[in-house]
A and B are shown apart, each in its own frame.
Chain A
Amino acid sequence: MKRLWILIGLFTAAATWSLPVAAHKPSDAYLRLTLEQGSADVRGEWDIALRDLDYAIGLDADNDGRLTWDEVRTRHGAIAAYALARLHLERGGAACALVPGNQLVDRHTDGTYTVLAFVAHCPRAGPLAVEYRLFADVDPQHKGLASVRDGGSVRTLVLGSDHPRATVDEGAAGAASGFLAYVRHGILHIWIGYDHILFLVSLLLPAVLVREGRGWRAVAGMRAALADVLKIVTAFTVAHSITLSLAALGVVALPSRWVESAIALSVLLAALNNVLPVARGRRWAAAFLFGLVHGFGFASVLADLGLQPGALAASLVGFNLGVEIGQLTIVAAFLPLAYLMRATWFYRRVVLVGGSGAIMLVAALWLGERLFDLKLFPV
């Protein structure tokens, strides 16, 4: 007996030692709940794997290992009864009556699922509570991945034997917090993304000056400076919003090394333009052109974060809004200082020319790094 025990143990020990690759897939079901607008009812759609249903209640009538549509549909009543008995919905503290509807089929990565439609007649409106016990007795590792849609907002829940119960707050709290998270990411990204800041600053440095012959003089009033800043910031915003949306929605995809290199180049050129003016009065056009490139850079960050399924627009708009807020705070910090100093020799020589030179140096290093995949700066 002892020898057998060790042998069997070794089998499982091999599993331990090898940490087996994630395989097939643990059991999941997908529960979609939609709160009816203007009524207390909830509509439901529940994708449950046929394999799991067969294990729990038996679907394979002829026991040949192949589930046909006939075998499945003769068991639709039993499937609905089994599943709905393991789902409890409550609204405003009162239990809802679950009424099964039709069943279709759909495929997920690990096989075919039944799609069970149902309606929950709830006595009154209020916060929705979900209690989920499907397969808890036959497979405690099963999880119910639920999404609750209320108008435009979507809340997601992961339910299972360790965590069977959840309450969904009324209103758009879930989506709102998701939205705010994306706004925060947008702000954070522009603040820690030095290349975006340097690009913007390079374009804004001359905004408080006017080109005169081969030199610069201070603008007369705040109004002229503001108009210039407004044009540049608007052009940059419009441009990067376009490409950010296109890339985030998967319409356009560019290699990140190309994008990152182009961003470095844009910083270099924007700063160069302050020393050897080429774009002169049309810096807004440069802001637009290169803004398109920066949009792709933002998109790669957003891709890292991932768009929230079902709340795609909210995450995209939230992130973009965050970028704009971050950008405006930079402008708000920069402009008054620059305006006050604009008439000084220090601003025109040291800040504008010296600063632009320093930016060019940094941008050139970035460009080399990104083009040739080198590592020049210690991180």
Chain B
Amino acid sequence: MKPGVAMHAVVAALLAGAAAGAGAAPRLPASGAEVLEELPWRADPQQRELRALRARLQEAPRDLVRAVEVARRYIEAGRREADPRYYGYAQAALGPWWRQTAPPPQVRLLRATLLQSEHRFPEALADLAALTAQRPDDAQAWLTRATVETVRADYAAATRSCARLSSLADELVTTACIANVGAMNGRLAASERLLAAVRARADDADKPAVDAWVLTMLAEMAQRRGAAASADARFRDALRVAPRDTYLLGAYADFLLDAGRHDEAAALLAPHARVDGLLLRHALALRAGGRARDLAPELAELAARFDAGERRGDGVHLREQARFELALRGNARRALAIARRNWDVQKETPDARILLEAALGAHDATAARPVLDWMRDARVEDVQLARLAAQFNLDGGKG
């Protein structure tokens, strides 16, 4: 009764091709004063500044310095607002160089960043490899490269890239880079201790972005080894530094959901419904709290959003979509098909977890094997993953 292994690709192709108008029904607004749309942060000074920069770039679209500045600012905006439209604007600023085989290094780094934000990791890595060969003292290029290599589960390469940072970046950044790889690769406790120690003696008061990043990383390491109290405290510290960080909010919400603290998770995420991944966790919290009436409209909204992403044919949302199918729609087989496509692209602990959960739900031990192999080969330490993997070992012999 389970779909053939090859079928998930066909399903994906069919769904990706399914595009048509999605709106409810076109209408004529009743009054001329009716507000149809709120534009994002129009009054924000950063936005005004950005508009001025964009206007200046329009006067000279081939001005490399201006273009790089505009693109970089848009990437920051996209990150800050968790809004991918800004990545499109950034790409537009880089338009004159975008399709060059070897664009100027500044452009190439931003191109790699944009490619990875679309989960086009092999293309991003190609740019980063060329960039680090050309400019071996570019710390940012090495750091981004290490990050993408970690996502792709190439830990040996990631470790090498982090090592190149040591003479280029400060100790905390270098340690964070190395610890992030080590924590995935059989050295969880040691990596956590090292990173915590370096953070404790680093003077990072002027670098909130770095501190929030490091704290989140430490919180997740504690979570992975099952030290809930320590993880909780670090997540809260990180949120004090970066209260709107989308990744951090999502990670803390997951922690709260796992701990059964669904009311706290719902309250944490209530103001962030525009972000799909956070709306998903909000819906999970409502569901865990038995709030069926509040849940129904969120389910419809999520279904519409994932549908919209699928029509575009991009795969950025696959991790969340698999979770949606499994936990909120109870469709384990579809969740599994999506989780497997996702695993082909990225290999972090949440990607492993959703694949194992979906495979358990769909009674498909074969599908779980790549993740179980990865856990063994990389010596992954994670209490949640270990618990899931144990179920396969109980049920399916070797697994």
- A residues near B (Cβ < 8 Å) are 5-28, 30, 32, 45, 47, 50-52, 54-55, 60, 63-70, 72-73, 104-113, 115, 135, 137-143, 145-147, 154, 156-158, 178, 181, 185, 188-189, 192-195, 255-256, 260, 297, 300-301, 303-306, 308-310, 369, 374-375, 378-379
Contact = CB atoms under 8 A, between A and B. Distances in A.
Contact of B247 (A18, A73, A111, A178): A18
Interface stretch (B229-237, B363-371, B375-383): B363-371
Contact of B277 (A21, A135, A379): A21
Interface stretch (B188-196, B259-267, B287-295, B308-316): B308-316
A379 B362 CA distance: 11
A214 B26 CA distance: 69
A379 B397 CA distance: 11
Interface string B4-43: 1001001100111111111111111101111111111111
A136 to B, nearest CB: 9
B23 A146 contact: no
A374 B396 CA distance: 11
A63 B34 CA distance: 16
B126 interface: no
Contact of B320 (A21, A141, A188): A21
B390 interface: no
Given A51-B40, A145-B311, A297-B1, 16 more contacts: A6-B140, A8-B76, A10-B207, A11-B209, A13-B213, A18-B247, A20-B247, A22-B277, A23-B81, A67-B36, A68-B32, A68-B33, A68-B35, A105-B27, A185-B7, A309-B18
B20 A69 contact: no
Given A32-B21, A303-B331, A139 B337 contact: no
5 contacts: A12-B113, A105-B26, A141-B85, A143-B312, A309-B19
Please give me the 3 A-B residue pairs with the lowest Cβ-Cβ distance, nearest first: A21-B277, A65-B42, A18-B247
Contacts of B78: 15
B84 interface: yes
Nearest to B169: A6
Contacts of B395: 374-375
B38 A142 contact: no
Contacts, number: 312
A113 B95 CA distance: 26
Interface string B72-91: 10011011011111011101
Nearest to B311: A145
A145 to B, nearest CB: 4
B182 interface: no
Given A12-B79, A15-B113, A23-B83, A70 B37 contact: no
A20 to B, nearest CB: 5
A10 B210 contact: yes
B107 interface: no
Contacts of A66: 35, 37-39
Given A22-B276, A69-B33, A379-B363, A28 B85 contact: no
B331 A17 contact: no
Interface residues of B, number: 114
A69 B32 contact: yes
B57 to A, nearest CB: 11
A8 B72 contact: yes
Interface in B58-110: 72, 75-76, 78-79, 81-85, 87-89, 91-92, 95, 98, 109
A378 B11 contact: no
Contact of B14 (A73, A105, A305): A305
A62 B148 CA distance: 44
Interface in B297-324: 301, 304-305, 308-309, 311-314, 316-317, 319-320
Contacts of B139: 6, 9
A15 B84 contact: no
A67 B42 CA distance: 11
Interface of B: 1-4, 7, 10-11, 14-29, 31-43, 72, 75-76, 78-79, 81-85, 87-89, 91-92, 95, 98, 109, 113, 116-119, 139-140, 143-144, 147-148, 150-151, 169, 173, 180, 207, 209-210, 212-213, 216, 245-248, 250, 274-278, 280, 301, 304-305, 308-309, 311-314, 316-317, 319-320, 330-331, 333-334, 337, 346, 348, 363-366, 395-397
A96 to B, nearest CB: 21
Given A9-B140, A26-B88, A111-B37, A19 B304 contact: no
A30 B82 contact: no
Contacts of B38: 65-67
A51 B308 contact: no
Given A16-B116, A21-B82, A108 B396 contact: no
B88 A51 contact: no
A173 to B, nearest CB: 14
Contacts of B27: 104-106
A20 B82 contact: yes
B246 A20 contact: yes
Given A10-B209, A23-B246, A379-B396, A303 B85 contact: no
Nearest to B31: A69
Contacts of B1: 193-195, 260, 297
A308 B16 CA distance: 10
Residue among A9, A112, A181 facing the most chain B CB atoms (10 A cut-off): A9
Contact of B308 (A50, A108, A303): A108
B278 A17 contact: no
A12 to B, nearest CB: 5
B279 to A, nearest CB: 9
A106 B140 contact: no
Contact of B24 (A60, A106, A260): A106
A60 B23 CA distance: 23
A139 B89 CA distance: 5
Given A9-B139, A11-B79, A304 B276 contact: no
A7 B207 contact: yes
B312 A9 contact: no
Nearest to B23: A106
A47 B39 contact: no
B15 to A, nearest CB: 5
B53 to A, nearest CB: 14
A18 B277 CA distance: 12
